[in-house]
Amino acid sequence: MGWTAADFVDGGSGPAILARMDQSSPATPVTRSPVIGSAVPRKDAAEKVRGRARYIDDLKYPGMLHGATVRTRAAGGRLLGIDFDPAVDWSSFVVVTAADIPGANSTGMLDGDQPVLAADRFRHSAEPVALIAHPDRARLREALAAIRVREDAQPRPLFDIDASLAAGGGLCPGNTFRDYLMSHGDLAAGEAQAEVVFEGRFETGAQEHVYIEPQGMIAHVDAAGVLVVEGSMQCPYYVLDTLAAVTARSAGELRVVQRTTGGGFGGKEEYPSHIAAHAALLTLAAGGRPVKLVYDRAEDMLATPKRHPSRTQVRVGARRDGRLTFVDIDFALDGGAYSTLSPVVLSRGVIHAPGPYRCPSARVRGRAVATNHPPNGAFRGFGAPQSIFAIEQAMDGLARQLGISPLALRQINMLRPGDVSVAGQAIDSATDFDAVLAQALAESDYLARQARHAAFNATGGRLRRGIGLATFHHGAGFTGNGEVVLASEAAVRARRDGQVEVLASSSEMGQGNTTTLCQIAADALGLPVERVTQAPVDTQEVPDSGPTVASRTCMVVGLIVEQAARQLRARLIDEAALAREDMSAEGFAAACARWFDARADAPALEVHARYEPPAGVMWDETTFQGSPYAGYAWATYVAEVEVDLLTGEATLLDFVAVQEVGRVVNPVIAAGQVEGGVAQAIGFALYEKVVRGAQGEMANNRITNYIIPTSADVPPIRVFFQEQRAGTGPAGAKGLGELPMDGPGPAIVSALNAALEGTGAMPLSRLPAMPEDILEATAGVHRTGEAA
Amino acid sequence: MSAGAQRWYRPRELAEALAIKASRGADVQPIAGGTDLMVAWRLSTAPMPALLDLGAIGELRGICEDPDRVVIGATTPCSTLAADARIQRGWPMLAQSAALTGSVAIQNRATLGGNVMNASPAADNPPVLLAYGARLHLASASGRRVVDYSGFHTGYRQTIARPDELVVAIELPRPAEATTVWYRKVGTRRAQAISKVALAACLQWQGSRVIRARFGFASLGPVPALAGALAHRVEGCDPGRLDAGALAQAIDEDFRPIDDVRSTGAYRRQVAINLVRGALGLA
């Protein structure tokens, strides 16, 4: 073969994307940084492209056992007992139940209401009640079939948000995990000023992450008596905290190691703590022997969290000229049976609910509602895609009622410098949302295509076309005071030969953060990126830089890494005579050598830094007013669709994604984040539907029947970045990872509604908009040719 | 090892395969591409059956055309059918359905005979075979018979093939003059999808009237099936003058589609009606 994997890695699509970026970037670079902004090859690319990366299920240890999980069937009730078929010789199995837990029987997430293993009562189907392990993986399946969990099922399980609220209790007080109210301005005055009011109800469905690698862990006790758990995860220190509580061990007796992680998307934020606890309990019961607990796809889909289903009631009012006067939103998430991460998913959803619009008065009530579904959890966007879908569709509805275009309504109301958002945050002078919208309109040829589609649709064939847009923003980092509470820490460490390591618990899971963190450090140190690597993520080796979530790694952790790197360089200048103007790798290495030569006993040249919140970031958790995020990425997405009225099938013809993200650290990785996020959101919008069985369990828990889009279903995704370089992150960067999940749903449904305009179809108001929904909305349309 | 305990057979001659079938019947599972069986085994706790691998039998593979028909060996893979000029010219719906079966990798392994014998109601090629009026060649150690494919599936995953029989070939008559064909698979997505509804229609015309109609459907019932009442309603008519309600009524006589994890009965019914309208040039 004439090429090697390195050709792909080194060449890539870098030049093409750089060219696009140069067109879209403000022409103001003062000094072109050699590392930040360049499409350096991913640090993890070669081993992954060559198939050498070792995932958790690739690892084997001598004497290793394989674990499996015994789960409930019913959607809640009392556990009466667990029967082990006497026909099976159980002596060769390790068996663990709640009675074997040395510490707390709680995963420890926020409210701590979720047991590691159900002991008495249970609240949902597929809830873990016991664990087994055996050296022969093949014997686990028959063993599971020989274990019967005796259940006294509760009579009327609750699967619907409003039914659960109406029931008023049973799962937790009011069946409500959290009830938040964001209040801004004088709502009564806003209602009085409104001349046109739109009201609507919008729903979004559950979504499964479908990370390419199902979840898994291996636990063992090492020779020093340390309990070691390794596996696929986003948040090693969350896992460590859960293990400490469940095993009643001190942090020094625990070690968590992140292995090559095949995707996360939020799905590996919290659930890995459960699997780690399960694997740990098994290894402790097995005398420390290694135990591997890896889910197959069906179990992963059945048991692990999904994106929260939502329903949102929106009232939004405006003057006749289109200026908003009030917005009143009732937003509710299906939290599932335990609160897990629902409170924080809810707060992000509430804050994003009014959209990026200026509105003098607003009320957003948000509730995380308990149901008998398996708990829902973190998923890229974290509540924002749900509430943004609702406000964007409500804006379209209001525009219809006002008789103006959805575009015009947005142009009238979008946040601009000097405005204050509904959350009470002043919009800074660097924000230029108009420029983002303008580029999206230009790149998508929005107005011309709208006119062409109108003419095409007027011919009355079975195909209809439409174009739609969504304007939105996404706050990066933890909500409110979260980053202050986290107080994340990261470090850089130089070796004698001038090679530098970044020390952070931020996990590479395919999103590219190892590469971007290395670029950030290299940039601050004046080194080529080849001189910087990220140390393996191991809680005994790296500080807690916080969880790898919330679009925070580049912006927040990157900033800490940048600070640590700058301090490292300053120390070499002060302590090892590194010339201030010497930006050469050779000069840096020579300074490192001098530093170590002068300190024969120094173990390491290592500099730690902690997160310092930007000045003026204040957040009031009780009123939901203040500055909920240190930075926002701003975006306009445009979708173009074609609908077949025979089948209700929607085909995406084109997709334009324009976003202002402060500063692009690596253009290929950033574009990959947007393309991947848009593809995942296309699934959320058109294909991915979690079908529930009678016990609320996922009935289509196979990739055959849970449909994610393939490359054949995804249109060209045209990605454009604007860079104001005013973000709070390194070199002015802001968070990006979740943003692309927010816009496609509303843009696609807007395009569908535009395509169906004039057919008499009811506007679509639910995600996913499946062919079944589209055909139902157009009921009667397809009969136009029929004889009367 | 006794013959009864053998777990894997790979005969090179059909006669040998038929002898194995004659002695072991349903205890031995014929396997060709394995694209359905291997998935099923992975999901099942049942022990894997003894296998009769048909892949080494040359006479089961290939395409043979004469003026009246084409005869397709049972282990001919979908990718061969999709790419074959004779199939594309004479039986274009089969080239289309073969190209929409699973993924490209699946099409390289999956065989036409396997797709028929797996007897899934959602299988991609059977509607086309039904529309073309296919006949199946079944062979056993005691002889051969040729049966109309339209009566082959008797219930969910049930066929008239006996335990000692193998399907060896699929025969498609050449469509009559003035015949039009129309095929549409409505899957869960554009590729690598299982059908929610699929229709293959073969219509013979005399002027503006349809004189012979065959509508082969997938995923509307427990078996891939011809819509007999619908064909009866259409034959002899100018479709432009057909009463729409009567079409729907005929389809309701033929099928009662159900809700499942892939779609709803209501959607399947409505799409079936709409596809028939498409096939008749009414939409």
What's A70-98 look like in SS3?
EECCCCCEEEEEEEECCCCCHHHCEEEEH
Same fold, A1-31+424-479+629-788 and A63-155+209-303: yes
How close B36 gets to chain A, by Cα (Å)? Answer: 12
Do B244 and A705 make contact, defined as CB atoms within 8 angstroms? no
Of A647, A772, A787, the CB nearest to B243: A787
Three-state DSSP at A617 gives coil
Do B196 and B219 meet the contact criterion of CB atoms below 8 Å apart?
yes
- C-alpha A468/C-alpha A754 separation (Å) is 7
Which residues does A246 contact at the CB level (< 8 Å), separation at least 6? Answer: A101, A102, A103, A104, A105, A106, A107, A108, A116, A277, A280, A281
Site from A651, A775, A778 to mutate, B interface, most B CB atoms within 10 angstroms: A775
Are B244 and A713 a contacting pair at CB < 8 A?
Answer: no
Asked whether the beta carbons of residue B278 and residue A462 sit closer than 8 angstroms, the reply is yes
Residue B271 and residue A705: Cβ atoms within 8 Å? no
What is the mean pLDDT of the segment spanning B40-69?
93
Q: CATH: 3.30.365.10, 3.40.47.10, 3.30.930.10, 3.30.450.20. Which one for A1-31+424-479+629-788?
A: 3.30.365.10
CA B78 from centroid of its chain's CA atoms: 12
d(CA A265, CA A549): 8
Considering only residues A429 and B47, tell me which one the structure prediction assigns the higher pLDDT.
A429
Q: Which residues of A touch B271 (CB under 8 A)?
A: 646-648, 775
Which two three-digit tokens encode residue B97?
Answer: 């359905």
* A346 contacts A178 by C-beta, under 8 angstroms: yes
For residue A165, the distance in angstroms to the closest alpha carbon of chain B comes to 28
A738 part of the active site: yes
Residue B262, min C-alpha distance to chain A (Å)? 6
Say whether A772 and B283 touch across the interface (CB within 8 A). Answer: no
A657: number of CA atoms within 13 Å, CB side?
A: 30
Nearest-by-CA chain B residue for A299: B43
CB pairs under 8 A between A and B: 76
Work out the angle between the directed axes of helices A446-458 and A744-756 (0-180°, nearest 10): 40
What is the predicted pLDDT for the residue at B45?
A: 78
Interface touch A785/B188, C-beta < 8 Å: no
Q: Cβ–Cβ of B45/A141 closer than 8 Å?
A: yes
Identify which of B191, B262, B271 has the shortest CB distance to residue A712.
B191
Q: Which residues of A touch B194 (CB under 8 A)?
A: 704-705
List of chain B residues whose C-beta atoms are within 8 Å of the C-beta of residue A648: 267, 271
Give the residue among A292, A304, A238, A759 at the shortest CA–CA distance from A548: A238
- Give B244's pLDDT tier (boundaries 50, 70, 90): confident
From CA A203, how far away is CA B246, in angstroms rounded? 37
Residues of chain A contacting B263 with CB distance shorter than 8 Å: 772
CA gap A733, A746 in Å, rounded:
26
Nearest-Cα distance to chain B for A296, in Å, is 11
Residues of B near A (Cβ–Cβ under 8 Å) read: 43, 45, 184, 186, 188-194, 196, 242-245, 261-264, 266-267, 270-271, 274-275, 277-278, 282-283
Cα(A381)–Cα(A342) distance, integer angstroms = 13
The overall average pLDDT reported for chain B is 96
String of b and e for A366-389 (b: at least 16 CB within 10 Å)?
A: bbbbbbbbbbbbbbbbbbbbbbbb
Residue of B nearest to A772 (CA): B267
Question: Is B188 close to A707, i.e. CB distance below 8 A?
Answer: yes
Who among A145, A645, A710 is closest to B189 (CB)?
A710
- Which residues of B fall within a CB distance of 8 Å from A776? 266-267
CATH numeric code, A158-204+306-414: 3.30.365.10
To 5 degrees, how large is the angle CA B183–CA B186–CA B188? 150
The single residue of A208, A688, A738, A786 carrying the catalytic annotation is A738
Q: Would the CB atoms of A707 and B189 count as touching at under 8 Å?
A: yes
State the DSSP code for A428.
Answer: P
Amino acid A618: pLDDT: 87
Largest CA distance in chain B: 69
Q: A709 in contact with B at a CB cutoff of 8 Å?
A: yes
- CB-closest option in B244, B262, B282 to A705: B262
Nearest-CA residue of chain B relative to A138?
Answer: B45
Domain positions in chain A: 1-31+424-479+629-788, 37-51+488-610, 63-155+209-303, 158-204+306-414
pLDDT score of B130: 98
Distance from CA of A297 to the nearest CA of B (A): 11
Give Cβ neighbours of residue A563 (< 8 Å, ≥ 6 apart): A609
Cβ-Cβ contacts under 8 Å for B50 (sequence gap 6 or more): B6, B7, B8, B9, B24, B27, B28, B29
Strands (E), A9-127: 65-71, 77-84, 94-97, 121-122
Amino acid at A200: G
Which parts of chain A sit beneath pLDDT 50? Answer: 1-32, 781-788
Instruction: For residue B261, give the nearest of A142, A691, A772 by CB distance.
Output: A691
What are the DSSP calls for A132-196, one per residue? EEES-THHHHHHHHTEEEEEEE-SS---SHHHHHHH--SSSGGGEEEEEEEEES-HHHHHHH-SE
C-beta atoms of B188 and A687 within 8 A: yes
Tell me if B193 and A707 make a contact (CB, 8 A cut-off): yes
Gap from B270 CA to chain A (nearest CA, Å): 8
What is the pLDDT, as a whole number, of residue A784? 40
Length of chain B: 283
pLDDT over threshold 80, residue B110: yes
On whether any CB of chain B is under 8 Å from the CB of A772, the answer is yes
Amino acid at A165: L
What are the chain A neighbours of B242 within 8 Å (beta carbons)? 787
Q: Which residues does chain B have within 8 Å of residue A787's beta carbon, measured at their own beta carbons?
A: 242-245
pTM (predicted TM-score): 0.95
In angstroms, what separates the C-alpha of B236 from chain A's closest C-alpha?
18
Asked if A782 and B270 come within 8 Å (Cβ–Cβ), the reply is yes
- SS3 category, A485: helix
For tokens 């992975």, what's the residue? Answer: B42
Interface contact B244-A787, CB threshold 8 A: yes
Closest by CA to A101, choosing from A67, A72, A68, A131, is A131
Considering only the beta carbons, identify the residue of A646, A775, A783 that sits closest to B244.
A783
CB contact under 8 A, A710 and B277: no
Contacting A residues, span 288-317, partner chain B, CB-CB under 8 Å = 298
Radius of gyration of chain B measured on its C-alpha atoms = 19
**Which CATH architecture does the domain made up of A63-155+209-303 adopt?**
2-Layer Sandwich (3.30)
Note the pLDDT tens digit of each residue in B177-199: 999 999 999 999 999 999 999 99
Nearest-CA distance from B123 to chain A in Å?
14
Question: How far is Cα B189 from Cα A151, in angstroms, rounded to an integer?
Answer: 39
Q: Which of A194-203, A594-603, B7-16, B80-89 has the lowest mean pLDDT?
A: A594-603
Q: Find chain A residues with C-beta within 8 A of B36's C-beta.
A: none
Taking the Cβ of residue A142 and every Cβ of chain B, the question of whether any pair is shorter than 8 Å is answered with yes
Chain B positions in Cβ-Cβ contact with residue A772 (cut-off 8 Å): 263-264, 266-267
Do B190 and A710 count as a contact with CB atoms less than 8 A apart? yes
Shortest distance between the Cα of A786 and any Cα of chain B, in A, equals: 5
* Number of neighbouring beta carbons within 10 Å of residue A353: 27
| Peptide bond connecting B224 to the previous residue in cis, omega within 30 degrees of 0 | no
Are B190 and A704 within 8 A, CB to CB?
no
Of A647, A705, A713, the CB nearest to B274: A647
Q: Does domain A37-51+488-610 have CATH number 1.10.3720.10?
A: no
Would you tell me how many other CB atoms lie within 10 Å of the CB of residue A546? 29
Provide the terminal-to-terminal Cα distance of chain A, rounded to the nearest Å: 65
Please tell me the predicted confidence (pLDDT) of residue A10: 35
